Amino acid sequence: MNLSNLKPAEGSTKTRKRVGRGSGSGLGGTSTRGHKGAKSRSGYSRKIGFEGGQMPLQRRVPKFGFKNINRVEYKALNLDSLQKLAEAKSLSKVGINDFIEAGFISSNQLVKILGNGSLTSKLDVEANAFSKSAVAAIESLGGNAVKL
């Protein structure tokens, strides 16, 4: 075998359909487009979602709900994950940069501290938002909850 006698496997290729090359070819005349109508013309393009005049799905299904443009999305972190982070890095002050380095959040996310789990060490915590139970737990140990 060499470059001069390479060829594709048997049955893996097909000859393309050459339409509109005279009636003798068997694909002349209407060139497989049927008779008349918009679909037989050049330049025809159907609107997206058009269903042949039937009421399209987009209009049959009712509108539902809305998107609140003022919604603020927070990444939730619990007190027990704060405790683990503080123990692992022996920190007394935990902030946004520590959460990013630990892989809890990405740099463009906002953080809300929730009160699930228990905190055993005094911590100063910086975050975008806190739940009431989280603030109570942090301050009961003498720490500070600083809202950014």
Taking only the tens place, the pLDDT of each residue in 98-136 is 999 999 999 999 999 999 999 999 999 999 999 999 999
* Listed residue (71, 62, 75, 65) closest to 129, CA to CA: 75
Q: If 0-12 CB within 10 Å is exposed, 13-18 middle and 19+ buried, where does residue 130 land? A: buried
Mean pLDDT for 12-17 is 94
Question: 26 pLDDT exceeds 90?
Answer: yes
Determine the Cα angle at 77 with ends 74 and 110, to 5°: 30
**Looking at residue 22, what is its pLDDT?**
95
The confidence score (pLDDT) of residue 69 equals 96
Residue 135 β-bridge partners:
none
Distances (CA, A) of 147 to 25, 94, 112, 130: 78, 12, 10, 8
What does the alpha-carbon distance between residue 124 and residue 82 come to, in Å, rounded to a whole number? 11
**Reported confidence tier of residue 1, pLDDT bands at 50, 70, 90:** confident
Query: Under CATH, what is the fold of the domain 74-147?
Result: Ribosomal Protein L15; Chain: K; domain 2 (3.100.10)
Q: Is 98 in contact with 85 (CB distance < 8 Å)?
A: yes
- pLDDT of residue 139 exceeding 90: yes
Q: Considering the entire predicted model, what is its pTM?
A: 0.59
pLDDT tens track for 42-81:
999 999 999 989 999 999 999 999 999 999 999 999 999 9
Query: What pLDDT shows up at residue 91?
Result: 87
The span from the CA of 142 to the CA of 121, in Å, is: 9
The ranges assigned to domains in the chain are 74-147
CA distance 148 to 136: 18
